[in-house]
Chain A
Amino acid sequence: MAIQIILLCGLVIFSGLAILFKDLLKAALSLAVASLFLGIIFFRLGAPYAGVFEISVVAGLITVLFILTIALTKRGDEVTEARLVKLAFPVFFILFLVIDGLVMKSLLQKIPALPSGPEAGSFGQVLWQQRTFDLVAQIGVILAGVLAVLALFRKKEEDKDE
């Protein structure tokens, strides 16, 4: 239980950091760490497929992509940040968490239990027989990710050419 809480806190803190950092590189790093936490949570909750997908696509592919390209690119001028703006997000976030905590608990009780039935079965069976179409979409996502790598790393080659 303690580990769960630590993982959740880590997830929340790093997500928040990813948002609050003005420096893109730090922000992207925080996002990677946050998705890593999420992946671990998925594993622990017994959803290894989701965990793998999360770590490979989100934490791995996209964020690493960003970190590398950002690191390779020169930074623009530092924008001075208003104090008020810095406060706005934490305030809303905390407000959201509080409301979430208050509302969700009562709401969750009202959600009827999942009717066991039509879509039960092993993951593979479900995936192949009922959710085939999702595979097409997954292929699309992965294709897009791969192409994104191709697109965002081309600059390096061009620099060499010049």
Chain B
Amino acid sequence: MVFSFIVIPLLVAAFLPLIGKFSKKLLPDVLTNAALAYLLFNSILLVKPIFHQGVIVQNLNWLGEKVNLQLALDSFNLFMLFTIALVSLCISLFSIDYLEHYGHKSTFYALFLVMIAGMNGLVLVPDLFSIYLFLEVAAVASYALVAFGLGYDELEASFKYLMLSVVASAFALLSIVIIFGMTGSLNFQAVAQGLQDLEARLVVGVCVAFFIMGFGLKAALVPFHAWLPDAHPSAPAPISAMLSGLLIKVSGIYALFRVIYSVIGITPVLSRLLMALGTVSMVVAALLALGQKDIKRMLAYSSISQVGYIVLGLALGTPLGIAGALFHLFNHAVAKGLLFLNSGSIQHITGTRNLEELGGLGKKVPVTAGTNLVGSLSIAGVPPLAGFWSKLIIIMALIQAREFGYALVAILASILTLWYYLLIQRKAFFGRVADRWLLVKEAPFWMSAANVVLALICILAGIFFSPIFKTWISPAAEALARGVQQVLMWGL
């Protein structure tokens, strides 16, 4: 059951190019969405067992012989799996209409599914080297997807992304190799145990620095962020949504904090360092977003800024901080997915993403404008949308931990966020309709539908955030915090 999260997307991906030979559109659409819907369904089915058992560890037998195929699922993983399945399902729904003019849908879907398989694998494995491998699976697929438009800019962005990403993976791998060299094992628990017995603080410190750089680059933390504003806007809108909404969180934040919480252990030193990094990202990227004219670039910088919030909350390490950060992770995945899809709708409708050229679209395309407003306000943290609660919880956690300075910066950054999202609203949707947009039509059905679904999630998660928080977020945060308790302090 757990294994299907990796195998099903891979299998479907393997067959899609063949299917694409005789069915250009219908079958790939149906198969991909069905596969993702199954994953979503599956992750919901798993809630109950996880709730009762706490952790599911699954071993697989191959032809009667026991092979080392181990997956571990706890509430934190499940939370991530659910988020991935939910957001990617909406994105693939959106792609049904959006990908029409790109052609080669089957290849696109296949790469898309490989990326999801990579992310799911990354989330499920309890082993350092496997993390690296699945990181690469998702990354290789994402290189190709960023360049999917095949323009010069897209290729350049993809190449830059590849080069920086390879550097990051190399450092993460180096760190994994050093840790393997010291402890002789790769399993989280075994490594944590091994590190505890060793007296090698300096070496481990350097390893952690490599992890922070490697995974931090994937998560686009400042100063490792520079690839993102080029790579994310260049990709087709669904892929931008995928990258910003999910990939940076899974291969960056999840990987970094899984390693830190479950292997190395969060210590005051690390906590302080990561909080500083998160805060710098939050502020610098928010300021950068203010100056952008391209909607997607603005959104890309906003992703960096919001990742800063999540890292700040997770690095704080208090139960409330972790819970707030995870909730923000979910909210940001949904809302940023929505906004990138929406920018795709805008591009589809008008043919441009330049804010200066847009104007007054609100009256012509109410669905696009309305969903954009919901997404913007959610990320900007306006009550009663979901983003408000998660930011509030993070800020409250900071105050509770008596980190008043950070709380102050977090609040100020949220004002900046509101500012540039209002800028989008004003320039693109409010005001008089520019003459050239008088004849535009609303986006096609599936595109609007995906937007509406995501917007509804933003609203519902905000209104019913109390039960959601209790059933989803708190257990996930507890699972993470348990990991911390298991990893005894080794003195960093």
> Is the CB–CB distance between B152 and A74 below 8 Å?
yes
Bound Cα distance A73, B159 (Å): 14
Q: List residues 100-140 of chain A with CB under 8 A from any CB of chain B.
A: 103, 107, 110-112, 114-115, 117-119, 128-134, 136-140
Residues on A with beta carbons closer than 8 Å to the beta carbon of B147: 69, 151-152
Which residue from A19, A70, A140 sits with its C-beta under 8 Å from B114?
A: A140
Task: Indicate the member of B7, B140, B153, B180 with the most A CB atoms within 10 Å.
Answer: B140
Which residue from B68, B118, B156, B206 sits with its C-beta under 8 Å from A107?
A: B206
> Is the CB–CB distance between A73 and B185 below 8 Å?
no
Which residue from A31, A107, A117, A144 sits with its C-beta under 8 Å from B141?
A: A144
> Is the CB–CB distance between A139 and B10 below 8 Å?
yes
> Is the CB–CB distance between B156 and A136 below 8 Å?
no
Q: List residues 55-78 of chain A with CB under 8 A from any CB of chain B.
A: 58, 62, 66, 69-70, 73-76
Residues on B with beta carbons closer than 8 Å to the beta carbon of A97: none
Residues on B with beta carbons closer than 8 Å to the beta carbon of A18: 163
Cβ of B67 under 8 Å from chain A = yes
Identity of the chain B residue whose Cβ is nearest the Cβ of A77 in the assembled complex: B152
Bound Cα distance A130, B185 (Å): 11
Kindly provide the distance from the CB of B197 to the nearest chain A CB, expressed in whole angstroms. Answer: 10
> Is the CB–CB distance between B184 and A136 below 8 Å?
no
Bound Cα distance A141, B185 (Å): 23
Query: Interface size (B, Cβ < 8 Å)?
Result: 60
Cβ of A98 under 8 Å from chain B = no
Kindly provide the distance from the CB of B20 to the nearest chain A CB, expressed in whole angstroms. Answer: 9
Cβ of B123 under 8 Å from chain A = no
Identity of the chain B residue whose Cβ is nearest the Cβ of A107 in the assembled complex: B203
Cβ of A86 under 8 Å from chain B = no
> Is the CB–CB distance between A138 and B185 below 8 Å?
no
Task: Indicate the member of A118, A145, A150 with the most B CB atoms within 10 Å.
Answer: A150
Task: Indicate the member of A31, A150, A151 with the most B CB atoms within 10 Å.
Answer: A151
Bound Cα distance A84, B107 (Å): 42
Bound Cα distance A148, B151 (Å): 15
Cβ of B87 under 8 Å from chain A = no
Stretch from B124-132, B268-276, B372-380, B411-419 that touches the partner = B124-132
Residues on B with beta carbons closer than 8 Å to the beta carbon of A70: 155, 159
Bound Cα distance A117, B181 (Å): 12
Residues on B with beta carbons closer than 8 Å to the beta carbon of A128: 67
Bound Cα distance A160, B178 (Å): 51
> Is the CB–CB distance between B17 and A31 below 8 Å?
no
> Is the CB–CB distance between A118 and B137 below 8 Å?
no
Cβ of B200 under 8 Å from chain A = yes
Cβ of A81 under 8 Å from chain B = no
> Is the CB–CB distance between A131 and B68 below 8 Å?
yes
> Is the CB–CB distance between A114 and B184 below 8 Å?
yes
> Is the CB–CB distance between B130 and A151 below 8 Å?
no
Bound Cα distance A129, B156 (Å): 41
Q: Using known A-B contacts A66-B159, A111-B181, A133-B69, determine if residue A141 contacts B144 with beta carbons closer than 8 Å.
A: no
Cβ of B148 under 8 Å from chain A = yes
> Is the CB–CB distance between A140 and B111 below 8 Å?
no
Q: Using known A-B contacts A118-B185, A134-B129, A147-B141, determine if residue A140 contacts B163 with beta carbons closer than 8 Å.
A: no
> Is the CB–CB distance between B110 and A147 below 8 Å?
yes
Bound Cα distance A137, B183 (Å): 23
Bound Cα distance A111, B201 (Å): 10
Chain A proximity mask over B99-132: 1 for CB below 8 Å, otherwise 0: 0000110011011001101100100010101100
> Is the CB–CB distance between A143 and B68 below 8 Å?
no
Which residue from B69, B140, B182, B183 sits with its C-beta under 8 Å from A144?
A: B140
Cβ of A27 under 8 Å from chain B = yes
> Is the CB–CB distance between A143 and B150 below 8 Å?
no
Residues on B facing A (Cβ under 8 Å): 6-7, 10, 13-14, 17, 62, 67-70, 103-104, 107-108, 110-111, 114-115, 117-118, 121, 125, 127, 129-130, 133-134, 136-137, 140-141, 143-145, 147-148, 150-153, 155-156, 158-159, 162-163, 166, 178, 180-185, 198, 200, 202-203, 206
